[in-house]
Amino acid sequence: MHFDTVIHDGTIITATETFRGDIGISGGRIIALAERLAGGERRIDAGGRLVLPGGIETHAHIAQESSGGVLTADDYLSGSVSAAFGGNSSFIPFAAQHRGQSIDHVIETCGARARRSVIDYSWHLIVSDPTPEVLEDQLPRAFARGITSFKVFMTYDLMNIGDGGMLDILTVAKAHGAITMVHAENNDMVKWMNRRLAEQGLTAPKYHAISRPELAEEEAINRAVSLARLVNAPLFIVHVSTAGGAAIVQREKLAGTRLFAETCPQYLALTRQDLDRPGMEGAKFMCSPPLRDAATQEALWQHIRAGTFDCVSSDHAPYRFDESGKFSAGRDVAYPKIANGMPGIAARLPYLFSEGVMKGRITANQFVALSATNAARTFGMKRKGSIAPGMDGDIAIWNPEARRKVTLADQHDNMDYTPFEGMELTGAPELVMNRGAVIVEKGALRAAEGQGRFVPRAPADLTARPGHIAKELDPAQNFGAPIAARSGGPA
């Protein structure tokens, strides 16, 4: 057998297995796994280090305009380079529709921007304007191109599509095999809190955390789940930040609901106290939903360990600490005018590995599931997320003993700060491959701009998530009303 590359003597870890052996790669794909493989034009000696599937980052805002018109600091080159240094071989940033835009235009724009990527990519479509043309023509066309996830917002005035709009998206998505993702926060609760805080002159960044209560997330998750259950459509809750929200996800998973969820490292590593730093420093830690408290961190770790979350994603939303980003509306503005989001695409996996695997909170197999395998299954990346014959040669070799302090320079992004600055982490990716090509090695980038490829995706894997049929949508129980006909029935 001819191999372009043999990775020799690795501790190979998948979501279910751990074994010592060699991996043979040819034509960008894994073609053999064995205790020992001879040959290989290039032999990489792993020396027993951990050989994992390359990470799949499923929540990243790259070259994306916010509804307020602020462009993220990372484009597809810097964002993908940062992801690669963080142990990722592919990512799925958002392609955001703003009101009045056609989905085709959004995809063309993102297609042109993504040509610079050094890792493989797809997009989740953000839908903020679900007109009949969008629902009936444009989303099905996007789906046919292999874009099989649509994201909606329950908050932000310019993005929130309301419960009816969400039911429309859920129904169309389900009819085509797509999964709907949701940012779940109760918009009116947040606006009410904003008004009360403003009336009292409480405008510092720390009040951002107060303005978005835990109950706003919990209520919205509960409502999103009810909407999805009504039409029995798959739903993915992004960036769960509360114990109550996680408990709803756990309850629904027990019930067999077609539900998926993620949390993010910032909710494990930081708290609302970080927003209470001198001057405007707290703005660096403003994201939505906001950072919570130590008890929440503990609860989220418990849910990670127990399998409530399918993914731990970064929600990389890089806005620099200057007028191009956080302060695009001015330096001394009230918190509602400061851009929401923080960077973390390079820190996601080192943080999860160090705090999760090295501290015994999760196994290395769980780490693989949370960082790559579940993402591939949920978002239809059939040839990614595991190490097996036929899979893409997307691999990261990790040194579990490497110790380092997080620095901005190590993030390799286009940012001027990292919220994880100074944290001591153990374990780091030392070599990263995408489709058999080494893209990061010995701290250096080996990839060429634009070598990443678009990955057309399949529908979500709903195995073992039977879902529910709402009585009122079941023609056998609703006097034959064909309410769910457009979605192909409630099953």
* Residues found near Zn ion in the complex (CB under 5 A): 183, 315
Query: Strands, DSSP E only, in 122-197?
Result: 124-126, 149-153, 179-183
- Give, rounded to a whole angstrom, the gap between the first and last alpha carbons of the chain: 47
Closest to ligand URP by CB, 274 vs 392, is: 274
Helix (H, G, I), strand (E, B) or coil at 163: helix
The distance of Cα 151 from the centroid of its chain, to the nearest Å, equals: 11
DSSP conformational letter for 174: H
Contact 127, 134 (CB under 8 A): yes
Contact 379, 122 (CB under 8 A): yes
Give min distance, CB of 17 to ligand URP, in A: 34
Closest to ligand URP by CB, 113 vs 208, is: 208
How far is 117 from 207, CA to CA, in rounded Å? 37
Q: Which does 340 bind (CB under 5 to 8 A by kind): ligand URP, Zn ion, none?
A: ligand URP
Contact 51, 430 (CB under 8 A): no
Q: Which does 287 bind (CB under 5 to 8 A by kind): Zn ion, ligand URP, none?
A: ligand URP
Residues that bind ligand URP (CB under 6 A): 61, 183, 287-288, 315, 317, 340-341
Alpha helix (H) residue ranges in 286-347: 294-306
Give min distance, CB of 306 to ligand URP, in A: 25
Give min distance, CB of 418 to ligand URP, in A: 16
Closest to Zn ion by CB, 62 vs 460, is: 62
Give min distance, CB of 252 to ligand URP, in A: 22
Give min distance, CB of 11 to ligand URP, in A: 35
Give min distance, CB of 22 to ligand URP, in A: 41
How far is 68 from 336, CA to CA, in rounded Å? 11
Give min distance, CB of 96 to Zn ion, in A: 10
Whole-number Cα distances in Å, 53 to 147, 218, 258, 346, 398? 22, 33, 26, 16, 10
How far is 148 from 140, CA to CA, in rounded Å? 9
Long-range contacts of 465-468 (CB under 8 A, 24+ apart): 465/234, 465/256, 465/257, 465/258, 465/259, 466/256, 467/229, 467/232, 467/234, 467/256, 467/257, 467/258, 467/491, 468/229, 468/232, 468/255, 468/256, 468/257
Give min distance, CB of 435 to Zn ion, in A: 27
Contact 110, 448 (CB under 8 A): no
Structure tokens at 445: 């980038």
Give min distance, CB of 65 to ligand URP, in A: 11
Closest to Zn ion by CB, 218 vs 315, is: 315
Helix (H, G, I), strand (E, B) or coil at 463: coil
Closest to ligand URP by CB, 183 vs 292, is: 183
Closest to ligand URP by CB, 11 vs 72, is: 72
Structure tokens at 429: 């990716």
Q: Which does 304 bind (CB under 5 to 8 A by kind): Zn ion, ligand URP, none?
A: none
Tell me how crowded residue 135 is: count the other CB atoms within 10 A of its CB.
Answer: 19
Q: Which does 326 bind (CB under 5 to 8 A by kind): Zn ion, ligand URP, none?
A: none
Closest to ligand URP by CB, 56 vs 62, is: 62
Backbone angles phi and psi of 50, in degrees to 5: -80, 130
Whole-number Cα distances in Å, 194 to 68, 124, 127, 430, 441? 18, 30, 25, 45, 47
Q: Which does 55 bind (CB under 5 to 8 A by kind): Zn ion, ligand URP, none?
A: none
Give min distance, CB of 59 to ligand URP, in A: 8
Closest to ligand URP by CB, 64 vs 250, is: 64
Structure tokens at 231: 């039409």
Q: Which does 110 bind (CB under 5 to 8 A by kind): Zn ion, ligand URP, none?
A: none
Strand 120-121 and strand 424-434: the pairing is: unpaired
Closest to ligand URP by CB, 26 vs 211, is: 211
Closest to ligand URP by CB, 165 vs 289, is: 289
The distance of Cα 233 from the centroid of its chain, to the nearest Å, equals: 20
Give min distance, CB of 435 to ligand URP, in A: 29
Closest to Zn ion by CB, 262 vs 315, is: 315
